Homo-oligomer: A and B are copies of this chain.
């Protein structure tokens, strides 16, 4: 189907892999699944009982992609969607999700994506999620994702989640369970401006022997924005976890980092590091001696920090 310019532009920002209406995909626009396609190994089925889709990924999928972006361009809409992923043993797949809001109105636009991933054994899953909002209106742009991930034996799950900009309020809830030998890699990036608020709660349960988790969270808070991080790693078996949160604070922003590490087993090894500080003034001065303005120098440092 032909999309309008607003939708096309938002899709370009939120789908960094490049969204095309081919292969396995599902585009949700203003609360409706407007187009979708299956591939040989990936089948998308509309839910009967509530809004959302079931995505079935075959064990024969090798380096395959599925794209399921959400675009909200009508102001004043509240969209709740339930997506469930069933990933068979041995599947190798990249799931590109994301939500972009364009709000030119004065009412709140809100999207709550409730995602559950049921991952079999020996699978390799990468889940990429970008959040972005824009628009000239005064209406708030709100994104409250809930993500549940159950990683089966010896599977690898990579979660890359990025709040690019423009989201006025977000409350992220993530819950992850790791079975024997399962590995989790999380990269969370978050940028807040003006009076935006962001809360991110993440609960990682290392239940299986030899499971491991590496969580890296990087954030920048500007204006009068407020960020609260509460990552929690619970070691219930022989396992390794490393949680690292780094934040740059600017202007009158406020950041709280409340990591929680719990060792419930003698062979649970869990490390946490967190740092909050302002932009490195030496880097800033150095870049400015190369002729960059203070704003340009700040932009370079923030981009390097987040990427």
Residues of A within 8 A of B (CB): 235, 247, 249-278
9 A–B contacts from the bound complex (CB under 8 Å): A247-B263, A249-B268, A254-B262, A255-B263, A257-B260, A257-B261, A259-B259, A266-B278, A269-B277
In the complex where A258-B260, A262-B255 touch, is A277 in contact with B273 (Cβ < 8 A)?
Answer: no
Secondary structure class of chain A's binding surface, majority of residues: strand
In angstroms, Cα B268 to Cα A277, docked, is: 6
The 3 nearest A-B residue pairs measured at CB: A269-B277, A263-B276, A272-B274
Residues from chain B with a CB closer than 8 A to the CB of A266 are 249-253, 278
Does the CB pair A264–B254 fall under 8 Å? yes
Does the CB pair A272–B260 fall under 8 Å? no
Does the CB pair B270–A273 fall under 8 Å? no
Residues from chain B with a CB closer than 8 A to the CB of A272 are 257, 259, 272-275
Nearest-neighbor residue (CB-CB) of A261 within chain B = B257
Residues from chain B with a CB closer than 8 A to the CB of A251 are 266
Does the CB pair A261–B277 fall under 8 Å? no
Say how far A256's CB is from chain B's closest CB, in angstroms.
Answer: 4
In the complex, besides A269-B275, A272-B275, A273-B273, 4 extra interface pairs with C-beta distance below 8 angstroms are: A256-B263, A259-B272, A270-B276, A270-B277
